[in-house]
Amino acid sequence: MAQVVELPLCPVRHVVVYADRAEVTREISLKDVEAGENEVTLNNISKVIDKDSVRIDGTGAASIMEVSFQDIPVTEEQDNQSELKEEVHQLEEELTELDKKFNISTKRKDRLEEQTDLLDKYTNTLVSSGKGAGPVELVSRDTIDNVFSFMDTFENESMELMTKKTDNEEERKKLSKRREEVKNRLSNLKPKIRTDENAVIKQTVIGIMLAVKERGDIKLL
């Protein structure tokens, strides 16, 4: 009977860290193993593993007959290059769009700053024009109405500009955050894409031959 186990999915039970390496112990659970000779294949072994350092022990009614290593070609289903390239393509397109939106948002920010400056300068000009004038004994009703109308307009314009600037700042923060997320994801994915599409990619697997005395569950460490 043959069983295939994805090693990264097996729980880690113990880790010892040395200056130049780490020793990792995983637990491999085999359920309802038949009596007789059984072959267990461990897939997705780390490429940096030291083959001479691998030790396998077991518990249960079984003994380990042989442990072997093989480098086998990766199947088309296991090779995720097409998925990687598609994700990179989509992320690059998203980054381009994010850059455009961020640039537009930055220009909008500059325009809002200019509008705020113009409004402030206009207000200061009106205030300055009133200084130094002689005493006024009589102020018309129209003048008073105009002053209050201007004050209302100034307050409304100021509040509107303030709201737009706040919204713009939030938009730029969100765009900036997403841009960094996309850039980080791309920096992680791009090194995984092969430059030579015709290269034969291999993975290391560990083969374990077990002699099982009686049917039951077995644990390997």
Give the CATH number of the domain where residue 174 resides.
1.10.287
pLDDT tens string 14-53? 889 888 888 889 999 998 888 999 999 998 887 778 888 8
Instruction: Residue 8: give the domain boundaries.
Output: 2-74+201-216
User: Which has the minimum average pLDDT: 70-74, 154-158, 211-215?
Assistant: 154-158
Distance CA 201, CA 186 (A): 22
- Mark whether 181 and 90 lie in a shared domain: yes
Please say if the pLDDT value at position 148 is more than 60. no
Instruction: Specify the pLDDT at position 183.
Output: 92
- Mark whether 34 and 114 lie in a shared domain: no
User: Which alpha helices (H) appear in 45-140, and where do they start and end?
Assistant: 81-130
SS3 of 144, please? helix
- Mark whether 164 and 124 lie in a shared domain: yes
The reply to whether 123 falls in a domain is yes
The reply to whether 115 falls in a domain is yes
Choose between 163 and 47: higher pLDDT. 163
For the question of whether the overall pTM of this predicted structure is more than 0.75, the answer is: no
Please say if the pLDDT value at position 179 is more than 90. yes
Q: Which of 62, 42, 40 is nearest to 51 (CA)?
A: 42
Under the banding of pLDDT at 50, 70 and 90, the label for residue 139 is very low
Instruction: Specify the pLDDT at position 75.
Output: 63
- Mark whether 90 and 123 lie in a shared domain: yes
